[in-house]
Each structure stands twice: as structure tokens, then as C-alpha cells.
Amino acid sequence: MTTARLRADQVGWNAGAVTILAEVALTAEPGTTVGVLGPNGSGKSSLLRLLAGLARPHTGEVLLDDVGLSMLRQRALARRIAVVAQQAATEVDLSALEVVLLGRIPHRPRLAGESGADVALARQALADAGLAGFERRRWASLSGGERQRVDLARALVQEPDLLLLDEPTNHLDIKHQLELLHFLASSPTTVVVTLHDLDLAAQHCDHLVLLHGGRLVAAGSPAEVLTPDRIAQVYEVRAQVDTDADGRPRIRYGRSGSARIVPG
């Protein structure tokens, strides 16, 4: 498996006359895991779409190993970048194995069917996702968490240099959340992941970027980004931030309303 360096250079994106993202910069060094944080509507998914080449920035540029995404052909992009989107469609009439096999399409000669090696890879990926025995299950019959894990298996058999995930933990129980984040953090692939759980992000990401109103408000190590003042400013909640033995922040929140776990 290879890896890539991703850079978003002051990207902006508008929906009609409305500015959704403005002057957002992000760098993901090869093999690192970058967390994209921010409240609802802050622009995380929109940024991920630009990073994936699914939408073009109206200003600035996204570069993969210093080559602008707009210079790369669709098939090359599909081989190098895998995306796990937020709400995988429910109306798909495929089995779990067939969904995973979609990840092999960019690697096949045009018009060729799947090979035995593709099927073996897909079966292994399902087993790695804890879904051995689910091969023939219809997509529509899967639970939200099972779908999320099948979709991750589909992205992994794509053997991407860059893996982009939009809230991949939102349907997962705590064990599967921890397993997924641990897997992403130890993967040699470059990973950019949007997350709502600041503590999970602090524990597992090398680098964080924090969006607010479509703008970058902070970027750096978890300890640099996740300060009580910044959490209060962006999320409008009071948080107590302690530090782990390994220097990573641990975050506890006050109860909403009158909660004051941080003095003053």
C-alpha cells in the first residue's frame, strides 16, 4: 500500500451566492491521520468533497503529491482516493460482497468482470470488518453500523493512497468506534476524517483542523487546537481539558445550561 501527501491551498466553495468555505488550508502528510472538526454546518462535508475531487473549489486548489486534482483523470483519482461518505444510500440492491467489490472497479481493465483475486480480497475485507458470513446479505437488510463497516471494507479494497471518511463513527457502538479509530491511526494510508467526538479525535489524530462558519479557526496538534477557550468559542459549551500521560488532551463537558466545570 502506498501513501500520499494531500494539500488544500486556501480553498473556497460557494453554493450559489452563499459562501460555504473560505480560505481553508489543510495539509495531510503521508501516513498521518488528520481530523476535521467543527459544529453542524461548519463545512466539514463540503471540505471533504473538495479534497475527494467530487466538487471543484471556486478558489484555491487541492493537490495530491503536489499535482492539482483537476489535472488527474477520474480513473486515476478513483484508484488513489477512497471516500466513505456520511449517509450511504439505502436503496442499493446489492449484497454486502457486491458492495465491497465495487472498490475493485478502478483496478480492473475496462469492461472486465471481477477476478478470483478480487473476490478473495473482498471476502477478506469483510472478515476484517468483523462481517464474515455477511457476504450474501442484502445491503437494505443491514443495520446502520453494519452498512458503515461494509462501506469501509469497500473503501479499503480500493487500496487507496488517501482515505477520506465523513463521520465514519456515527452508527458505530463504542467498541467499533475505538477499533476504527485505532485502525485509521495505525494505517500507512493518509487519512482525513471528519468527527464530532472531540475526545476520540484528540486520542487518535496526529493533526486537527477546526472549522467554524466555513472558515479555519485552528490547526495543529490536538493539544494546540482543543483548548477550553476555543471549544467554548466554537461549540458554545464549557469543557475541562486535562492532559494524558502521552500529552494528548482529555475532554469532559459540563452539563448544558448552568454547568461550570471550568472555574471562572
Q: 69: helix, coil or strand?
A: helix
Q: How many whole angstroms separate alpha carbon 102 and alpha carbon 39? A: 32
Does position 87 interact with ligand ATP (CB under 6 A)? The reply is no
Does position 203 interact with ligand ATP (CB under 6 A)? The reply is no
Does position 41 interact with ligand ATP (CB under 6 A)? The reply is yes
**Binding segment (CB under 6 A) for ligand ATP, from list 44-52, 57-65, 94-102, 219-227:** 44-52
Residue 43 vs 168, nearer CB to ligand ATP = 43
Does position 81 interact with ligand ATP (CB under 6 A)? The reply is no
Give the cell for residue 101: 467489490
Shortest reach from residue 244's CB to ligand ATP, in Å: 26
Question: Max CA-CA distance within the chain?
Answer: 66
Spatial CA neighbour of 12 closest among 211, 151, 152:
211
Spatial CA neighbour of 127 closest among 163, 91, 97, 159:
97
Q: What is the 3-state secondary structure (H, E, C) of 127-196?
A: HHCCCCCCCCCEHHHCCHHHHHHHHHHHHHHCCCCEEEEECCCCCCCHHHHHHHHHHHHHCCCEEEEECC
Q: How many whole angstroms separate alpha carbon 208 and alpha carbon 220? A: 6
Does position 170 interact with ligand ATP (CB under 6 A)? The reply is no
Shortest reach from residue 91's CB to ligand ATP, in Å: 21
Helices assigned H by DSSP within the chain:
44-52, 74-80, 96-101, 116-128, 144-157, 174-186, 198-204, 222-225, 228-235
Which residue among 4, 8, 11, 20 contacts ligand ATP (CB under 6 A)? 20
x/- site string to ligand ATP, residues 46 to 65, per CB under 6 A?
A: x-------------------
Residue 27 vs 170, nearer CB to ligand ATP = 170
Does position 149 interact with ligand ATP (CB under 6 A)? The reply is no
Residue 103 vs 168, nearer CB to ligand ATP = 168
**Binding segment (CB under 6 A) for ligand ATP, from list 41-49, 132-140, 202-210, 248-256:** 41-49
**Binding segment (CB under 6 A) for ligand ATP, from list 40-48, 67-75, 131-139, 147-155:** 40-48
Applying CB under 6 A, the residues found at the interface with ligand ATP are: 15, 20, 38, 40-46
